[in-house]
């Protein structure tokens, strides 16, 4: 306590220094007088008495200094002095300060922006859940790359594992919700009853789910709604609890409202409500109920690791269990059921799946930009230190320690980087939110990427600013404090001392700048090319000029028969839309993140022991292939007469045909699902169904008119702007059923835009950084050249007086700059060729060593160098020898 | 001559100052120094240069307070006196000191440690 008190008193001691010094002087004076009197009394002569007293007291100045050390904090006082002095000297150089601060702001801002994105997606994958880093996602490889887990398997894994304190299961689903009059579409999550408890999320109103709601199918139907849903549909009324909403025509009681920030367990996706899994049967009918089936892999499982358990241990534990389960139920587990446990930040589901690699790459790239900015500012400081050599020499010869001078320089650096960091922080408040704008607005998946610059971002920016100051400040500080005062002062106004060594350091920095900006420009070029390639990529169908509109039957009075009837009538109406080239219906839109799978047997094909026959399929209307312009390889496409009254038919893709019926004619073969047999009538070319550039999976088209589907998409190909046909489509739908809600009016193009969002983020961001890098490097070489030319003014003057032509002077200066630039470019090329290999996984359709990019970048850089060198070179060639020599 | 006298050990000066002020009431800096030297039978020599920073520190910690006043022989001087917190601190430090010396004494007692 007393130490604390003393500290505060000392803090106060920073002020009122003069009064205290006077008091101490008086006190010491009175002390002396007492002593002298005593000495006199002891019989000394007055002179001797005073002498002895002074000896005993010791040095008065030392005592004062010693005393001052206890008053206030001497280091803080001199630090404040340094800051005041730093601010004063900086104010004298506004041009330098503006350039340096803006350069740093750009470098730091790029990093803090990317960091804010990483912070919100990777570090806080589930907003509203504390300790999100203790959670991990389970996935198997059963069907396609990563997949979900069946409910029975989930229960076994949850109850028998040793490594998770709890595991929850969730399955996203579109729902039709009727709160007042018209039904609307909303996104819900089927969840295990332990969902909210497992996450430690407490509803702000009401409750989560009860254990009984997981064990008793057929009980009361309950739901927890999101804060947003509560606000928009119930105006935030407390009375919402106990109210009933209709979900897919079934009355549900609202028992809770989730906290505002909690929107679900998949990063980047937000849901409107949560329903216990046991109620699936009530909504979809028991025949579709997946809860008792081990071969219906529906659920995304997320678990909380026990303290001290690693992801690898958990994975090993679950795989032991999974092998037992697979051995026990081999028929339900075809395919690879190895469990992968992933930390949330690289979960195979949600936005992180797409974002985490690219964001870390972007962070690395903006790190290089910051280094580049540091090199630039360091060079500015070096140039400045030449002109301050005199000042430093004088301070050294007056007894300042070298450490004190270094500290003074570092304090100035800190001031610069604090301003830079401050601007960067303001900048980040705005740029943090831009991540969401790269993702096209779509309601097709409940995307919501919200990024806020929070305290973590603020602290990180501050720390980065401090380190930045040290990185760019330390070399110039050490350099400028290493003066030989005598030499500097003797040489007086010429100030040439050590300038060759300093120029060498500057030159090294310029070479580094060029190497780094080449690297950045190459990255920028590669990402821009990659984004363009992704946009122009041919997915196997023609996505342009196609309107997309969706509808859903759930929640309306449609059953299989009337639904089929509606689809048929709608198809006919769509054909009448003026100007449309073709129109169709489908429950599948390519590249929409959603494909359905079911068990499909191919005639005559015997699956391998563990080969999964869970294949992707879609129910499509007549003219689907024609509307999307998917080439037909053999046979025919579906027609309106492929309906419930005719025999069941199917179209397979070429991958299907080649894999199950190699060297055979697929048309005429049979395939079987759980319910029906189908005769193959056509073979279609492969397209990209789920992921861009990946089209080797077998795929089956079934006629929509034979296979009722609860939801559908309307696809209309028009010659011009697809959205212009929207009203015609609405009219067509509403002439049949005025109440049927339509969702997600968009174009097929925008679906692909969503797929290429990461490419565009990288293209725009890195492209922007590339321009910044080019600018910084050009300014750097210009600065160094301009400075060294000015230093050589007399030399050039002498040369010209001796008969050198302006042209040769021009070449002299130009070659000096070009030498540095070429060295930098050579280093940069080598580094880039090695480092860009890391980009190969995120680039789309471009090789990391793309020659076109490299050539273009080198060309741009050389042009920039010539321009930057031209100005000082020209100035040098116009030196008037008389003026230059007289200057001396 | 000065070599015969021990310098005041670091850390013990504060304790001596507090004890002196407890015994003498109000006293100025010179008086405190002289009193410490006399009490030690002139075996100790107080470095006056270190005394004033020590007084300042004690005052900052709230153990003593100071006031300008006039001495017996009409000289202006700064007088220090013990505060309530100082009295407590003195008790505490004295106790600790006694403990320390007692422990040391046990260590130095013949036959106890050398075994």
Q: How do the domains of chain B map onto residue ranges?
A: 2-108
CA torsion A538→A542→A543→A549, rounded to 10°? -150
- A277 and A369 within one domain: no
pLDDT at A117 over 70: yes
Overall fold of domain B2-108: Arc Repressor Mutant, subunit A (1.10.10)
How do residues A356-404 score in pLDDT, each as one tens digit? 778 888 899 899 989 989 988 888 888 777 777 777 888 777 777 788 7
SS3 B78: strand
Contact state of A27 with B78 under an 8 Å Cβ cutoff: yes
Query: Which of A525-529, A536-540, A728-732, A825-829 comes out lowest in average pLDDT?
Result: A536-540
Q: How many domains does chain A have?
A: 4
Q: Which of A247, A318, A312 is nearest to A279 (CA)?
A: A247
Residue in chain B lying closest to A5 (CA): B61
Whether B63 contacts B83, CB under 8 Å: yes
Tokens 């009295």 locate to B87
Q: What is the pLDDT of residue A419?
A: 93
Nearest CB neighbour to B60, from listed A10, A28, A37: A10
Contact state of B85 with A71 under an 8 Å Cβ cutoff: no
Q: What is the pLDDT of residue B115?
A: 42
pLDDT at A751 over 60: yes
A133 pairs with which residues across the strands? Answer: none
Measured CA to CA, the distance from residue A855 to residue A694 in angstroms comes to 30
Question: Is A88 among the domain residues?
Answer: no
Q: Which of A799, A858, A805, A800 is nearest to A829 (CA)?
A: A858
Residue of higher predicted confidence among B78 and A67 = B78
Contact state of B49 with A63 under an 8 Å Cβ cutoff: yes
Residue in chain A lying closest to B50 (CA): A63
- Complex ipTM value: 0.81
Nearest CB neighbour to A71, from listed B56, B75, B78: B56
Range picked from A74-78, A324-328, A533-537, A687-691 for highest mean pLDDT: A324-328
* Residues of chain A neighbouring B47 (CB-CB closer than 8 A): 58
* Residues of chain A neighbouring B61 (CB-CB closer than 8 A): 2-3, 5-6
Contact state of A2 with B34 under an 8 Å Cβ cutoff: no
Half-sphere exposure of A220 (CA within 13 A, CB side): 11
Question: Is A660 among the domain residues?
Answer: yes
Nearest CB neighbour to B60, from listed A6, A34, A38: A6
* Residues of chain A neighbouring B56 (CB-CB closer than 8 A): 67, 70-71
Measured CA to CA, the distance from residue B13 to residue A801 in angstroms comes to 78
- A341 and A358 within one domain: no
Query: Which of A278-292, A331-345, A470-484, A735-749 comes out lowest in average pLDDT?
Result: A278-292
pLDDT at A620 over 90: yes
- A381 and A298 within one domain: no
Cα radius of gyration rounded to whole Å, chain B: 16
Q: What is the 3-state secondary structure (H, E, C) of A529-595?
A: HHHHHHHHCCCCCCCCCEEEEEEECCCCCCCHHHHHHHHHHHHHHHHCCCCCCEEEEECCCCCCCCC
Residues 6+ apart with CB under 8 A from A583: A571, A574, A575, A577, A623, A627, A714, A715, A716, A717
Measured CA to CA, the distance from residue A534 to residue A692 in angstroms comes to 8
Measured CA to CA, the distance from residue A828 to residue A846 in angstroms comes to 20
Tokens 């999307």 locate to A628
Query: Mutate which of A9, A14, A62 to disrupt the B interface (most B C-beta within 10 Å)?
Result: A9
SS3 A513: helix
Residue of higher predicted confidence among A692 and A629 = A629
Measured CA to CA, the distance from residue A372 to residue A516 in angstroms comes to 7
End-to-end Cα distance, chain A: 66
Whether A225 contacts A273, CB under 8 Å: yes
The DSSP code sequence of A836-875 is GGGGTTT-SS--TT-HHHHHHHHHHHHHHHHHHHHHHHHH
Q: What is the pLDDT of residue A1?
A: 56
- A358 and A339 within one domain: no
Contact state of B30 with A34 under an 8 Å Cβ cutoff: yes
pLDDT at A145 over 60: no
Question: Is A576 among the domain residues?
Answer: yes
Half-sphere exposure of A695 (CA within 13 A, CB side): 17
Nearest CB neighbour to A5, from listed B47, B61, B77: B61
* Residues of chain B neighbouring A39 (CB-CB closer than 8 A): none
Contact state of A30 with B76 under an 8 Å Cβ cutoff: yes
Contact state of B30 with A35 under an 8 Å Cβ cutoff: yes
pLDDT band at A447 (very low <50, low <70, confident <90, very high): low
How do residues B55-93 score in pLDDT, each as one tens digit? 888 888 889 998 888 887 788 888 998 999 889 988 988
pLDDT at A496 over 50: no
Which tokens hold the place of A272? 């409107």
Distances (CA, A) of A369 to A110, A285, A453, B99: 8, 58, 21, 63
SS3 A803: coil
Q: What is the pLDDT of residue A546?
A: 93
Contact state of B56 with A67 under an 8 Å Cβ cutoff: yes
Residue A58 to chain B, least CA–CA distance (Å): 6
SS3 A126: coil
* Residues of chain B neighbouring A62 (CB-CB closer than 8 A): 49
Contact state of B48 with A63 under an 8 Å Cβ cutoff: yes
Measured CA to CA, the distance from residue A132 to residue A136 in angstroms comes to 9
How do residues A623-638 score in pLDDT, each as one tens digit? 999 999 999 999 999 9
pLDDT band at A809 (very low <50, low <70, confident <90, very high): confident
Nearest CB neighbour to A70, from listed B29, B57, B77: B57
Measured CA to CA, the distance from residue A527 to residue A364 in angstroms comes to 14
Q: What is the mean pLDDT of the segment spanning A259-274?
A: 85
Domain that holds residue A848: 354-536+757-887
Q: What is the pLDDT of residue A440?
A: 59
How do residues A293-331 score in pLDDT, each as one tens digit? 887 788 889 999 999 899 999 999 999 999 999 899 888
Q: What is the pLDDT of residue A758?
A: 77
Residue B72 to chain A, least CA–CA distance (Å): 11
Nearest CB neighbour to B49, from listed A9, A33, A58: A58
Residue B109 to chain A, least CA–CA distance (Å): 36
pLDDT band at A497 (very low <50, low <70, confident <90, very high): very low
Which residue pairs, CB below 8 angstroms and at least 24 apart, start in A708-711? A708/A560, A708/A563, A708/A564, A708/A567, A709/A587, A709/A619, A710/A552, A710/A553, A710/A554, A710/A563, A711/A174, A711/A550, A711/A551, A711/A552, A711/A553, A711/A554, A711/A587
Q: What is the pLDDT of residue A499?
A: 53
Query: Mutate which of B13, B53, B62, B69 to disrupt the A interface (most A C-beta within 10 Å)?
Result: B53
How do residues A818-838 score in pLDDT, each as one tens digit? 888 889 999 999 999 998 888
- A371 and A265 within one domain: no
Q: What is the pLDDT of residue A495?
A: 46
Q: What is the mean pLDDT of the segment spanning A781-792?
A: 77
CB proximity under 8 Å: B 30-89 to A: 30-31, 34, 47-50, 52-53, 56-57, 60-63, 71, 73, 75-78, 85, 89
Residue of higher predicted confidence among A67 and A326 = A326
Measured CA to CA, the distance from residue A230 to residue A657 in angstroms comes to 50
- A579 and A525 within one domain: no
Contact state of A26 with B75 under an 8 Å Cβ cutoff: no
Q: Which of A140, A446, A145 is nearest to A298 (CA)?
A: A140
Burial of A348 (0-12, 13-18, 19+ CB in 10 A): middle
Length of chain A: 888
Write the DSSP symbol of residue B40: T
pLDDT band at B103 (very low <50, low <70, confident <90, very high): confident
- A581 and A483 within one domain: no
Query: Which of A56-60, A225-229, A405-409, A713-717 comes out lowest in average pLDDT?
Result: A56-60
Contact state of A33 with B47 under an 8 Å Cβ cutoff: no
Q: What is the pLDDT of residue A5?
A: 67
pLDDT band at B114 (very low <50, low <70, confident <90, very high): very low
Distances (CA, A) of A239 to A186, A234, A235, A243, A296: 21, 9, 10, 8, 38
Mean pLDDT of chain A: 83
End-to-end Cα distance, chain B: 39
Q: What is the pLDDT of residue A172?
A: 84
Query: Which of A13-17, A286-290, B33-37 comes out lowest in average pLDDT?
Result: A13-17
- A762 and A735 within one domain: no
SS3 B49: helix
Q: What is the mean pLDDT of the segment spanning B38-64?
A: 82
Length of chain B: 115
Q: What percent of chain A has pLDDT above 90? A: 23
Measured CA to CA, the distance from residue B78 to residue B71 in angstroms comes to 9
Q: What is the mean pLDDT of the segment spanning A256-268?
A: 86
Residues 6+ apart with CB under 8 A from A641: none
* Residues of chain A neighbouring B73 (CB-CB closer than 8 A): 37
Contact state of B78 with A34 under an 8 Å Cβ cutoff: no
Whether A295 contacts A599, CB under 8 Å: yes
Nearest CB neighbour to B77, from listed A2, A30, A67: A30
Question: Is A236 among the domain residues?
Answer: yes
Distances (CA, A) of A220 to A202, A214, A223, A247, A278: 21, 12, 10, 13, 10
Measured CA to CA, the distance from residue A432 to residue A116 in angstroms comes to 6
How many contacts, defined by CB atoms under 8 Å, are there between A and B? 70
CB proximity under 8 Å: A 64-93 to B: 66-67, 69-71
Residue in chain A lying closest to B78 (CA): A27
Q: Is A16 on the interface with B (CB under 8 A)?
A: no
Write the DSSP symbol of residue A672: E
Q: What is the mean pLDDT of the segment spanning A644-673?
A: 92
Question: Is A471 among the domain residues?
Answer: yes
CA torsion A564→A568→A569→A571, rounded to 10°? 130
Which tokens hold the place of A473? 């400040």
Phi, psi of A421 (to 5 degrees): -65, -40
Residue in chain A lying closest to B72 (CA): A34
Contact state of A34 with B49 under an 8 Å Cβ cutoff: no
H or E stretch at A619: strand A614-620
Residue A82 to chain B, least CA–CA distance (Å): 26
Buried-exposed string B38-74: b where 16+ CB fall within 10 A, e elsewhere: eeeeeebbbebbbbbbbbbbbbbbbbbebeeeebeee
Q: What is the pLDDT of residue B48?
A: 75
- A334 and A369 within one domain: no
H or E stretch at A46: helix A46-57
Q: What percent of chain A has pLDDT above 70? A: 88
How do residues A571-612 score in pLDDT, each as one tens digit? 999 998 888 899 999 988 888 767 788 888 998 898 887 777
Q: Which of A6, A109, A191, A709 is nearest to A425 (CA)?
A: A109
Question: Is A379 among the domain residues?
Answer: yes
Range picked from A19-33, A103-117, A278-292 for highest mean pLDDT: A103-117
Q: What is the pLDDT of residue A856?
A: 92
Q: How far from chain centre, in Å, is Cα A588? A: 30
Contact state of A59 with B29 under an 8 Å Cβ cutoff: no
- A188 and A335 within one domain: yes
Q: What is the pLDDT of residue A12?
A: 63
Contact state of B52 with A28 under an 8 Å Cβ cutoff: yes
Q: Which of A346, A374, A404 is the last residue of a domain?
A: A346
* Residues of chain B neighbouring A58 (CB-CB closer than 8 A): 47-49
CB proximity under 8 Å: A 615-644 to B: none
pLDDT band at A660 (very low <50, low <70, confident <90, very high): very high
Q: What is the mean pLDDT of the segment spanning A133-151?
A: 75
Full-prediction pTM beyond 0.90? no
């Amino acid at each position: 306590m007393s130490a604390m008190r003393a500290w505060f008193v000392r803090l106060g001691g920073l002020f009122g220094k003069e009064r205290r010094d006077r008091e101490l002087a008086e006190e010491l004076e009175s002390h002396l007088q007492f002593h002298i009197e005593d000495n006199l009394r002891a019989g000394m002569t007055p002179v001797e008495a005073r002498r002895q007293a002074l000896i005993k007291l010791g040095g008065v100045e030392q005592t004062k200094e010693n005393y001052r050390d206890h008053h206030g904090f001497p280091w803080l006082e001199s630090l404040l002095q340094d800051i005041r002095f730093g601010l004063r000297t900086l104010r004298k150089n506004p041009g330098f300060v503006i350039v340096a601060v803006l350069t740093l702001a750009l470098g730091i801002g790029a990093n803090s922006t990317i960091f804010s994105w990483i912070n919100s997606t990777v570090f806080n994958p589930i907003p509203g859940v504390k300790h999100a880093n203790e959670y991990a996602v389970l996935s198997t490889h059963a069907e396609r790359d990563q997949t979900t887990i069946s409910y029975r398997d989930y229960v076994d894994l949850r109850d028998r594992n040793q490594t998770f304190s709890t595991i929850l299961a969730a399955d996203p689903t579109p729902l039709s919700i009727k709160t007042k009059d018209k039904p609307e579409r909303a996104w819900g999550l089927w969840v295990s009853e332990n969902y909210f408890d497992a996450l430690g999320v407490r509803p702000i109103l009401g409750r989560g789910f009860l254990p009984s709601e997981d064990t008793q199918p057929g009980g009361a139907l309950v739901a927890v709604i999101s804060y947003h849903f509560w606000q928009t549909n119930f105006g935030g009324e407390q009375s919402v609890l106990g109210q009933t909403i209709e979900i897919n025509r079934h009355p549900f009681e609202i028992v809770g409202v989730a906290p505002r920030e909690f929107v679900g367990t998949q990063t980047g996706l937000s849901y409107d409500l949560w329903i216990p899994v046991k109620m699936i049967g009530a909504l979809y009918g028991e025949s579709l109920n997946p809860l008792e089936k081990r071969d219906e892999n529906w659920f995304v499982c997320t678990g909380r690791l026990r303290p001290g358990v690693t992801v690898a241990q958990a994975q090993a534990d679950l795989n032991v269990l999974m092998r037992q389960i697979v051995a026990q139920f081999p028929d339900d587990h075809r395919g690879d059921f190895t469990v992968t446990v992933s930390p949330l930040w690289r979960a195979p589901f949600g936005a992180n799946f797409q974002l985490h690699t690219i964001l870390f790459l972007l962070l690395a790239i903006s790190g290089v930009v910051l280094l580049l900015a540091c090199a630039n500012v360091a060079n500015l400081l070096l140039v400045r230190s030449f002109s301050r050599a005199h000042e430093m020499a004088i301070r050294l010869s007056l007894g300042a320690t070298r450490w004190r001078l270094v500290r003074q320089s570092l304090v100035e650096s800190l001031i610069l980087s604090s301003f830079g960091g401050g601007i960067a922080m303001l900048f980040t408040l705005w740029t943090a939110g831009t991540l969401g704008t790269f993702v096209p607005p779509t309601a097709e998946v409940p995307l919501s990427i919200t990024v806020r610059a929070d305290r973590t971002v603020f602290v990180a920016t501050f720390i980065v600013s401090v380190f930045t100051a040290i990185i760019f400040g330390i070399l110039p500080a050490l350099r400028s404090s290493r003066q030989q005062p005598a030499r500097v002062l003797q040489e007086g106004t010429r100030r040439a001392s050590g300038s060759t060594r300093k120029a060498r350091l500057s030159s090294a920095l310029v070479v580094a700048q060029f190497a780094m900006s080449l690297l950045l420009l190459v990255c920028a070029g590669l990402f821009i090319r990659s984004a363009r390639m992704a946009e122009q990529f041919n997915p196997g169908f023609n996505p342009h000029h196609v309107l997309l509109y969706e509808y859903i039957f759930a929640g309306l009075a449609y059953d299989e028969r009337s639904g089929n009837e509606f689809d048929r009538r709608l198809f006919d109406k769509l054909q009448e839309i003026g100007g449309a080239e073709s129109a169709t219906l489908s429950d599948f839109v390519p590249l929409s993140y959603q494909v359905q799978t079911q068990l499909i047997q191919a005639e005559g094909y015997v699956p391998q022991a563990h080969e999964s026959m869970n294949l992707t399929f879609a129910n499509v209307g007549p003219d689907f292939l024609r509307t999307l312009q998917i080439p037909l390889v053999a046979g025919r496409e579906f027609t309106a007469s492929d309906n419930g009254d005719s025999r069941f038919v199917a179209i397979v893709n070429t991958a299907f045909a080649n894999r199950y019926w190699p060297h055979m004619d697929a048309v005429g073969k049979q395939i079987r699902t759980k319910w029906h047999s189908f005769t193959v009538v056509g073979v279609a070319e492969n397209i990209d169904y789920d992921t861009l550039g990946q089209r080797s999976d077998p795929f089956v088209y079934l006629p929509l008119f034979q296979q009722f589907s609860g939801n559908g998409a309307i696809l209309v190909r028009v010659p011009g702007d697809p959205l212009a046909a929207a009203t015609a489509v609405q009219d067509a739908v509403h002439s049949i059923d005025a109440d049927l809600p339509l969702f997600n009016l968009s174009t097929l193009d925008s679906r692909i835009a969503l797929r290429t969002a990461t490419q565009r983020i990288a293209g725009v961001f890195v492209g922007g950084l590339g321009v910044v890098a080019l600018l910084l490097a050009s300014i750097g070489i210009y600065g160094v050249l301009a400075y060294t030319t000015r230093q050589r003014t007399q030399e050039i003057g002498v040369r010209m007086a001796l008969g050198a032509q302006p042209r040769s002077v021009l070449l002299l200066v130009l070659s000096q700059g070009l030498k540095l630039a070429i060295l930098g470019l050579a280093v940069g090329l080598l580094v880039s060729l090695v480092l860009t290999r890391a980009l190969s996984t995120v680039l789309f359709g471009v090789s990391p060593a793309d020659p076109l990019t490299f050539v273009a970048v080198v060309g741009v850089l050389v042009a920039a160098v010539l321009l930057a060198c031209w100005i000082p070179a020209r100035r040098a060639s116009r030196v008037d020898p008389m003026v230059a020599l007289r200057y001396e | 001559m000065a070599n015969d006298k021990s310098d005041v050990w670091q850390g013990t000066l504060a304790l001596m100052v507090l004890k002196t002020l407890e015994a003498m009431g109000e006293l100025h800096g010179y008086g405190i120094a002289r009193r410490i030297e006399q009490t030690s039978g002139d075996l100790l020599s107080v470095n006056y240069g270190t005394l004033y920073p020590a007084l300042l520190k004690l005052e900052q910690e709230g153990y003593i307070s100071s006031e300008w006043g006039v001495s017996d022989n009409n000289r202006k001087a700064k007088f220090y006196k013990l505060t309530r917190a100082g009295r407590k601190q003195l008790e505490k430090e004295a106790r600790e000191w006694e403990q320390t010396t007692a422990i040391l004494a046990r260590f130095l007692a013949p036959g106890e440690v050398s075994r």
